[in-house]
Structure 1
């Protein structure tokens, strides 16, 4: 199984489109785009933190699973990647955070930046 784990805060924050005015709405727009995207992944995990959690309910909708980080998103993202790798899945993480990237690579994930994902969605 191919799994894509997304640092939603990092992706939403990568384009200056007014996301800071309403993080929840910006995250909802990302979720809506993921729902209709033709990505080559069996499962997409969208990790939300802070104010973005109000934009999308936690749960599974089609191939997209939304999880709400109880605190900082990096820990939840790393836990998602570790669980998927432990299950034997091929995992790609999406973040531009250098420390998180190194952590995910250490867990055996490939890591791409937000621009890669946004290019897939455009």
Structure 2
């Protein structure tokens, strides 16, 4: 029997904003640091686990075409609303048996409710990264 596939969808703006460490002075830099931390985490997770990070606004400048792809991590740039893009990512994630959305946004949590979808707050992710 195959191991269940897990997808972790990260609301980057919400996760970054959960720590008052001056992120607002350099949103792209804060996003770069989160992406680097998540890339490291992706190597410690089971091979059946993938991470999708949704960036919006000024944080999108953290990514450029020259950055190498991380095998089990994908960065998605939201053209408009990051929340709408997260809802789209979850709706299209049919290959995952379990989806975990990382956000503290109550409205977004209600929008991604489905039988195979859980939501956790940023503190859960930070505890995985620290």
TM-score normalized by the length of structure 2: 0.86
Give the greater-gyration-radius structure (CA).
2
- SS at 2:8's partner residue? strand
Q: Which among 68, 78, 81 is matched to residue 90 of structure 2?
A: 81
Match of 1:116 in 2: 124
| Counterpart for residue 51 of structure 2 | 44
Q: How far apart in 2 are the matches of 1:8 and 1:88?
A: 20
Q: Deviations over 1:63-87 (max 9, x none)?
A: 1100100101000000101111x33
Q: How many residues align?
A: 121
Unpaired runs of 5+ residues, structure 2, are none
What is the aligned-residue RMSD (CA, Å)? 1.7
Given that residues 6 and 44 in structure 1 are in contact (C-alpha distance below 8 angstroms), is that contact kept between their aligned partners in structure 2? yes
Q: Contact conserved, 2:7 with 2:96, CA < 8 A, in 1?
A: no
For 1:36 and 1:18, the matched residues in 2 are separated by 23
Q: What is the deviation of 1:62?
A: 1.7
